[in-house]
Structure 1
Amino acid sequence: MDGGPGAVYDLIRREVAARANRLWDTAMTLHRDPESAYEEHRAAELLTSELTREGFRVDRGTAGLPTAFTAAAGSGRGPRVALLMEYDALPGLGHACGHNLIAAAGLGAALALRAALGDPEGSLLALGTPAEERGGGKATLVEAGAFDGVDAALMMHPGVHNWSWAPLTASSQVRVGFHGRAAHPTGNPTEGIDALGALIQLFNMLGVLHRRLAPGSHIQGIVTDGGRATNIVPEYAEGLFGIRGATTAALEALEGELRRCAEGTAAATGTEVTVERVGGRYEHFRDNPVLSGRFAGHLARAGIQLTEPEPGVYLGSSDMGNVSTGVPAIHPFIAIMDAADGSDHTPRFAAAAASSRGRRVLLAAAEALACTAADVLLRPEVGPQAWAALREKAAAGL
């Protein structure tokens, strides 16, 4: 495009501004009508309608997920950049993670960039990614090949910090079941093998293990089956354990520790044990400094300065980690309220996702995402630099 990168950025800014009210209306419609994981039918219809209206080719039901979609523009020859949208809400809390802003920002970036560039050389994708809060829609999309050939996967996340990337851990859930033998606790107690007692001993053992875990790693468990009656020695007891590790390798090591503790407990108590992962696994997030640096620079024009995360602080997990393992990716946090006022996954944060500050962040993020995507599509050096940075992190195990 004539006029150099600055002219493209200026045009993107004007295109975002021209759609500001529509984008905010989209965010507020999602906020008023929250839908939880895999149930986001109205959200997906709203977003795909907007994309179709402005000339994107839309395919619904990506990877067999009814509320996922892929919208595309461009020639298909050259770099491929994906702008990601999340739109699932939390049961009982609505958009207390701000996914309504994530969706509207990704939408705004896609619409503004296509309006600024027309159908660019390469591919501009807008991906609808359901079920981040529970189930891991992006993990399914990765496995189905939705990110194959993508050179940059871009999204933002509202938060209580202005951080250029997200310190997100790897996570999984593991079910542990102990099998014993029922008996009457007074009539024939010596014939019983107490499965619940074994499960309690596992919790005690994990409490000892917890003292030596590295920052970012933990095991949090609950009892999901503790028996049926107080006058029966429980023949079966079950616990569900959420495991996190600062890296995917740390998570795998911790899963192995849990298994060894469970097997040791079974041997000591005369029970039998089953250990199985429940659902998919979230990988740890690998920030791409080439792309996140460009995003931070673009966002600074709106007066929002991003910094590095605080050392040793971790903020949960996301299926965006699975994307970042194989594709250069960004996941910055942009504050819509102050950390002193609380955190996400709270009613106060849900209110912030519908606030005037939330609107300012939405529009600034949409512009910065679109400008970063333009860099990938128009600057030949950016894609190879981003891939080199990803390979370097992977080789270092980061």
Structure 2
Amino acid sequence: MARTLDDVHQDLRKEVADRAGALWSIARRLHADPEYAFAEHRAAALLTGELQRAGFSVRRGVAGMPTAFTARSGHGRPTVALLLEYDALPGLGHACGHHLIAAAGLGAALAVHTVLGGSAGCVTAVGSPAEEGGGGKAVEADAGVFDDVDAALMFHPGVYNWRRAPLTAQVQYRVAFHGRAAHPTGNPTEGIDALAALVELFNVLAVLGRRLPEASHVQGIVTHGGTATNIVPEYAEGLFGLRAATTPALEDLIGQLRECAEGVARATGTRAEVERATVRYDHFRDSGVLSDRFAEHLSRAGITLTPPVPGVYLGSSDIGNVSARVPAIHPFVAIMDEDGSDHTPEFAEAAASERARDVLTAATEALACTAADVLLCAGLREEAWARHGEAVGG
């Protein structure tokens, strides 16, 4: 007698329960040994070692990044990707809970591999470095890692229980002004003050900020402002972080930044240079049909996910670049109360708590069951792709 989908879910939950202690041990090892963007060598070695021992086909150094990897079980389509993050925050360690994301993705991939054994397509664990700065998933997406994937699944620990992540598009730009050095009293008329131009750009952007749409903003810092007080600065530079609710809105904001810089340069007699300084993170496009499945599976653990609060945005992530290509989910599951925040020492402590351990097991089960749904239910895949096409304007 053939197994039903409910039978598969039950087998997956048992498999995750049997591995729960080992997964928590891996999460704690990662938590105790934080590594940072593109240097997560021990984390990548630990995770790929577990996958390789289980029989996955492992590729390291994916997309030109030494700590990126893919690990495949099965062949062909359909293919579901489980995303693993494992970079930490300098000075704060795992204050964003990426060790839990890594352990959950690992556990879900191992469970699906054990229960389905490649019989229903392919499950791929995708190790993505540098989410906190560098955009490993964006680099992987551009390199084609997700080209043959039908769904990309992950969860993120947080302070809310939300079905989807309200994540904005973001990028950083470097703006430099070139002037002419002079002595401020000996020959002041010969100088062209590049720092004055940069300061004026801050003023213009402050005025612009008053009429930007919701979720759009520019935040800048001065990275070079001159070398001595008795020399008119011939070079000044600022770094500007831009965010917007959608990727098209971010592109509009980038255009406005360029216009402002060029206008200031004309007004001050300087020359402006505007260049992108980081990988662009696209806004996140949630696959509602897959997020609903994840929420339904997670509810078995007594955790109820709700839609996010309207108008509240929780930063940006390179999962946005993946979601522009394939149906993707990124629910938040709380490991501390709403009066807290990630990227704090308190969150790092909560990420090693018993509540975090319970959330890890529950999220791993929900990810594994959702992955099986993608592999086994053609109708679900078709609906997810159809809605994805609508979300990206296709």
SS in 2 for 1:280: coil
TM-score, with length taken from structure 1: 0.98
Match of 2:330 in 1: 331
The separation in 2 between residues aligned to 1:220 and 1:2, in whole angstroms, is 58
Q: Which residue of structure 1 lines up, in the alignment, with residue 379 of structure 2? A: 381
Any idea what the Cα deviations from partners look like across 1:125-163, whole Å, max 9, x if unmatched? Answer: 011111101100111111111111100000000000000
Partner residue in 2 for 1:145: 144
Q: Please state if 1:156 is matched with 2:149.
A: no
Deviation, structure 1 residue 279: 2.3
Aligned mates of 2:345, 2:278 — CA distance in 1: 28
Q: How does 1:1-398 map to 2 (within 5 A)?
A: 2-74=2-74, 76-340=75-339, 342-395=340-393
Q: Give the counterpart letter for 1:49 in structure 2.
A: G
Q: Provide Cα deviations, 1:341-382, integer angstroms capped at 9, x if missing partner.
A: x21110000011101010011000000000000001111111
SS of corresponding position for 2:378:
coil
SS in 1 for 2:324: helix
Matched position secondary structure for 1:301: helix
Q: How far apart are the structure 1 equivalents of 2:184 and 2:77? A: 72
Give the aligned residue type for 1:198: A
**Aligned-pair CA distance for 1:207:** 0.5
Q: TM-score, normalised by structure 2?
A: 0.99
CA distance in 2, matches of 1:393, 1:380: 20
Contact 1:77–1:121 (CA under 8 A) maintained in structure 2: no
Which letter maps to 2:367?
L
Partner secondary structure for residue 389 of structure 1: helix
Following TM superposition, the consecutive aligned residue runs of length 4 or more in structure 1 with deviations greater than 4 angstroms are none
Is the partner of 1:186 in helix, strand or coil? coil
CA apart distance, 1:97: 0.4
Shift of 1:213: 1.2
Q: Is the 8 A contact 1:82 1:127 kept in 2?
A: yes
Q: Is the CA contact 2:152–2:329 (under 8 Å) kept in the aligned structure 1? A: yes
Q: Shift of residue 306 of structure 1? A: 0.4
Asked if the contact 2:77/2:148 (under 8 Å) is kept, the reply is no
1:165-196 Cα offsets, whole Å, 9 max, x none, are: 10101011111101111111111111111110
Of the structure 1 ranges 210-219 and 98-107, higher mean CA displacement relative to structure 2 is found in 210-219
Q: Matched residue pairs, number?
A: 394
CA-CA distance at 1:118 after TM superposition: 1.8
CA drift of 1:2 comes to: 2.5
**AA matched with 2:388:** L
State the Cα distance separating 1:72 from its structure 2 match.
0.6
Does the CA contact (< 8 Å) of 1:31 and 1:94 recur in 2?
yes
Shift of 1:233: 0.6
Deviation at 1:120, TM superposition (A): 2.1
CA contact (8 A) 2:78 2:375 kept: yes
Alpha-carbon separation, structure 2, partners of 1:46 and 1:107: 11
The answer on whether the counterparts of 1:178 and 1:195 sit within 8 Å (CA) in structure 2 is yes
| Structure 1 residues 219-270: Cα deviation after superposition (integer angstroms, max 9, x where no partner) | 0000000000000110110000000010000100000111111111111111
Tell me how far 1:112 sits from its aligned partner: 1.1
Alpha-carbon distance, 1:394 to partner: 1.4
Identity of aligned residues (%): 68
For 1:71, the aligned partner's letter is: A
Q: CA deviation at 1:60?
A: 1.1
Partner Cα separation in structure 2 for residue 77 and residue 318 of structure 1 = 28
Cα distance in 2 for residues equivalent to 1:133 and 1:349: 16
Q: CA deviation at 1:77?
A: 3.5
Q: Residue 153 of structure 1 aligns to which amino acid in structure 2?
A: A
With 110-119 and 24-33 compared, the bigger mean Cα shift is at 110-119
Residues 186-209 of structure 1: CA deviation (Å, up to 9, x unaligned): 111111111101110100011111
Distance across 1 between alignment mates of 2:285 and 2:162: 14
- Counterpart CA distance in 1 for 2:2 and 2:358 is 30
Distance in 2 of aligned mates of 1:210 and 1:38? 33
The one-letter code of the counterpart of 1:238 is: E
Structure 1 residue 63, shift from structure 2 partner:
1.2
- Provide the C-alpha distance between the structure 2 equivalents of 1:73 and 1:45, rounded to a whole number of angstroms: 18
Q: Identify unmatched segments of 5+ residues in structure 1.
A: none
Contact in 2 for aligned 1:168/1:315 (Cα 8 Å): yes
Secondary structure of residue in 1 paired with 2:100? helix
Q: CA deviation at 1:117?
A: 1.4
Q: 2: distance between equivalents of 1:310 and 1:151?
A: 29
**1:37-56: CA deviation from partner (whole Å, max 9, x where unpaired):** 11001001111111112111
Q: Using the alignment, how far apart are the partners of 2:3 and 2:141 within structure 1?
A: 37
User: For the residues of structure 1 that align with 2:144 and 2:322, how far apart are their CA atoms?
Assistant: 11
Deviation at 1:65, TM superposition (A): 1.1
The letter for the 1-side match of 2:24 is W
Secondary structure of the 2:305 match is: coil
The alignment partner of 2:280 has SS state of strand
CA distance in 1, matches of 2:282, 2:77: 28
Counterpart secondary structure, 1:173: strand
RMSD: 1.0
User: Given residue 381 of structure 1, which amino acid in structure 2 is its aligned partner?
Assistant: G
